[in-house]
Amino acid sequence: MKAGTSIKQLEELTSVFSLFNSTTERLTQAYSKLEDDVVRINNELDAKNEALRQKIDEVNHVRSYLENILQSMSTAVIALDLQHRVTLINRCAEHILGCTREMIISKHIAHILVFEAAQWKEIFELCVQNSNSDEKETVVVTPANEKITVGIAMSAIRNRHDQTTGYLVLFRDLRELKGLQEKVRRADRLASIGEMAARVAHEIRNPLGGIEGFASLLVRELESDTSKQQLAHYILQGAQSVNHIITNLLDYARPIHLKKELFSVREAVFDVFGNITAVKQDTPADIIMPNDSHDVQVFGDRIMIQQAIWNILVNGIDAMRSAGAPMILRVDYQTVFIRKRSLSHETLLYFEHSLNACNENIVTYAPDRNELDLSCWSSISISDGGQGISKELFEKVFFPFFTTKENGSGLGLSTVYKIVEEHNGKIGVRSEQGKGTCFTLFFPCPQEQRRVPHEH
């Protein structure tokens, strides 16, 4: 019995061992297959990851390429969401607005480009109806509180289902274009004036010379008859006045050929004022200037710039005499720095309705500023205590032949404008009715003055 039981147990053990071996073999085969599957899946995953990396690289390349295009555009671009908040801005827009991306992102567009709310509403409505709006020229106020003329347009951003997901605002700074257009208009006017002046000089000066000559003879012949001699004097003075106007007209229309030199503004102003004092003895005026140690240099045509100073000083004297104001002129000169982004091709830099107006783009020192953003200028300011210029006349003061004087030719300030323009300079005007006017002439600094001082 015992032997039979042992044999049976041995057979069972053999069977179990055989089952274990076959199971182990199957598990080994399964594990081997699983390893092969893992290798295959890993290879497939590596291939897919590589393909994905390539796709990501391609997307990043395209995105970088498009970003470079966007940032390199000479047109300002601002993207908005459906709530009209800024989501994207390019460098050109930052430059025009005078602020950084961080200052603008997430802000409402109406707070970035400020003009009448109705205009924004109108632009958005047109954009919704037509997917875009035509470019519109308008004046906006930037976050830097600067008024600029821009051409602005908008397009709707749509997805593949033609649903609007945002808006794209495109705008161009038109200040340079406006300045060039004004230069062309002035050149056209000068050409017309030059042609007219040549005709006038030819047609009028010959008979005028005869009138003046005969009037001079009459004055001498009528020494014994004072009443008639006075009438002859009137004829002579009238002829001389007409001749003076023709001379001014020819001078204004004639091209300026500059003979530049480095000279002292203080000395130039003293020379001019001395000549004015000699000429206008009937209306003596005092001049207040900085102390003797203060001076600036200008590199330009001394005679031409003195002519501009003369015209402004004479205007000031006439204005104070007409207003019955104290005959005191104030002259100041200094080196200043103007932020380049505020400059354009226009010669007129600013026209303010207040004598105390402060232009943030003009500084006498550069606290925490990038020197590359500033340009150096020699400035000459001349202030009078006359009646001032009314707002209605502001835009006309530099027009040829515009004058409010009874005997004025209207070429004084036009000549100032032309001289400054020929020097690539700028003019600033501040005027307040009942208080007076201040003209400031800006000329590019001589090279040695172009270092930007910093506040101590």
Do 382 and 262 lie in a common domain?
yes
What pLDDT score does 191 carry?
A: 75
How far apart are the two ends of the chain, measured CA to CA in Å? 119
Do 150 and 215 lie in a common domain?
no
What pLDDT score does 395 carry?
A: 77
3-state secondary structure of 165: strand
Do 3 and 48 lie in a common domain?
yes
Do 13 and 85 lie in a common domain?
no
What pLDDT score does 453 carry?
A: 53
Do 408 and 334 lie in a common domain?
yes
How many CA within 13 A on the CB side of residue 25?
6
Give the type of residue at 27.
L
Q: Provide the pairing of β-strand 147-158 with 328-339.
A: unpaired
Give the type of residue at 237.
Q
What pLDDT score does 279 carry?
A: 65
What pLDDT score does 449 carry?
A: 54
Q: Provide the pairing of β-strand 286-288 with 328-339.
A: parallel
CB 197 within 8 A of CB 251: no
Do 405 and 263 lie in a common domain?
yes
Q: Which of 52, 72, 92 is the last residue of a domain?
A: 72
CB 302 within 8 A of CB 268: yes
Domain residues for the domain of 52 are: 1-72
Q: Could you give the CA distance from residue 178 to residue 198 in angstroms, rounded to a whole number?
A: 30
Q: How many domains does the chain have?
A: 4
Find all residues with CB under 8 Å of 218, minimum gap 6, and list them: 229, 232, 235, 236
What pLDDT score does 440 carry?
A: 94
Give the type of residue at 387.
Q
Per-residue confidence in pLDDT tens, the chain, 456 aa: 556 667 777 777 787 778 778 888 888 888 888 888 888 898 999 999 999 999 999 999 998 898 898 888 888 999 999 898 999 999 998 888 888 888 889 998 888 888 755 577 777 777 777 767 778 888 888 887 777 888 888 888 888 888 888 889 998 888 888 878 877 887 787 777 777 777 777 778 778 778 888 888 887 888 777 778 888 888 887 887 777 777 777 777 777 788 899 999 999 988 888 887 766 666 677 888 887 667 889 999 999 999 999 999 988 988 888 888 888 889 998 888 888 777 777 788 888 888 877 777 787 765 555 555 788 899 999 999 888 888 778 878 888 777 777 666 778 888 899 899 999 999 999 998 888 999 999 999 886 555 555 554
3-state secondary structure of 171: strand
User: Does a structural domain hold residue 105?
Assistant: yes
User: Does a structural domain hold residue 38?
Assistant: yes
Distances (CA, A) of 240 to 197, 247, 257, 354, 381: 17, 10, 27, 39, 33
311: CATH: 3.30.565.10
What pLDDT score does 371 carry?
A: 56
Phi, then psi, of 35 in degrees rounded to 5: -60, -45
Do 284 and 418 lie in a common domain?
yes
Q: Which of 72, 102, 135 is the last residue of a domain?
A: 72
- Read off the tokens for 200: 């006038």
User: Does a structural domain hold residue 455?
Assistant: no
Do 161 and 186 lie in a common domain?
no
Find all residues with CB under 8 Å of 227, minimum gap 6, and list them: none
What pLDDT score does 456 carry?
A: 44
Give the type of residue at 406.
E
Do 434 and 302 lie in a common domain?
yes
Give the type of residue at 216.
S
Do 422 and 281 lie in a common domain?
yes
Do 85 and 196 lie in a common domain?
no
Enter the DSSP assignment of 455.
Answer: -
User: Does a structural domain hold residue 454?
Assistant: no
User: Does a structural domain hold residue 269?
Assistant: yes
Q: Which of 198, 229, 252 is the last residue of a domain?
A: 252
User: Does a structural domain hold residue 266?
Assistant: yes
